[in-house]
Amino acid sequence: MAALAARLDCAPSALAGLSEAELVSRLITADALVPRDQIILETRSTNTGENAAFTRDTLDELGLTPHHIELIQDPLLQRRTEATFRHVWQDKQTRFFSSPPFVPRLGEALTTASWTEERYLSLLLGEIPRLHDTPEGYGPNGKGFIGHVEVPQDILVQHQALAEIFSGQSGR
């Protein structure tokens, strides 16, 4: 939180209690990427599935039927976020665009300020099993939170190799 507060030029206490959506919104407006009045926040969700459903509910309540929605999420969770929104909104013609705020690279200041190495590896290694459409995954053959995602075989092999190297870091 200290790194985010420094970037926003405020005290960490000013950010305490804000939702992830509110924090990201502050970053976006601070960087003048989108005007504050053009951002609609969903702040009630506690997981990605709720976020997709509550966003849809919020827009319905406002009488809005968007053609395009920009999804801004932690870069390591971006693929699953998009899959979740596509699944929840499958009966709509809405198109989703992923827009991660940065590309994480271990050792770089922005990544280091956002995650510890343990958290980075946990997120990275945890996402492939969630995306993979198996009984343990989030797809139709598993928990049903997302539609089918085809994970290329070479990614599965690389994931397994990394999981073995960093055993104990493969889940949240």
DSSP string for 88-108: HTTTS--EEEE--SS---TTS
Element housing 14 (H / E): none
Most confident of 7-16, 112-121, 132-141: 132-141
Residue 61's domain spans which residues?
Answer: 40-101
Q: 94-98, 132-136, 154-158, 164-168: which range is least confident on average? A: 164-168
Q: How far is CA 153 from CA 128, 156, 169, in A?
A: 11, 5, 21
With cut-offs at 50, 70 and 90, classify the pLDDT of residue 19: confident
Q: What's the CA gap between 75 and 121, in Å, rounded?
A: 13
Q: Are residues 161 and 117 in the same domain?
A: yes
CB 117 within 8 A of CB 110: no
| Structure tokens given for 76 | 């390591």
Q: Are residues 45 and 90 in the same domain?
A: yes
- What's the confidence (pLDDT) of residue 114? 65
Residue 162, domain CATH: 1.10.3620.10
| Structure tokens given for 121 | 């590896």
**Pairing, β 95-98 against β 68-71:** parallel
Q: Are residues 172 and 110 in the same domain?
A: yes
Q: 28-32, 101-105, 166-170: which range is least confident on average? A: 166-170
The predicted model scores a pTM of 0.78
The amino acid at 39: I
Count of alpha carbons within 13 angstroms of residue 168, beta-carbon side? 2
Instruction: Give the helix, strand, coil percentages of the chain, each rounded to 5.
Output: 50, 5, 45
Q: What is the mean pLDDT of residues 11-16?
A: 88
| Structure tokens given for 80 | 């699953």
User: Looking at the predicted structure, is the pLDDT value of residue 27 above 90?
Assistant: no
Partner residues linked to 96 by β-bridges: 69
Residue 94, domain CATH: 3.40.50.620
Return the closest-CA partner of residue 123 out of 109, 111, 136: 111
Task: Read off the pLDDT of residues 62-103 as tens digits, 9 standing for 90 and up.
Answer: 999 999 998 888 888 899 999 999 999 999 999 999 888 777
What's the number of domains the chain is made of?
Answer: 3
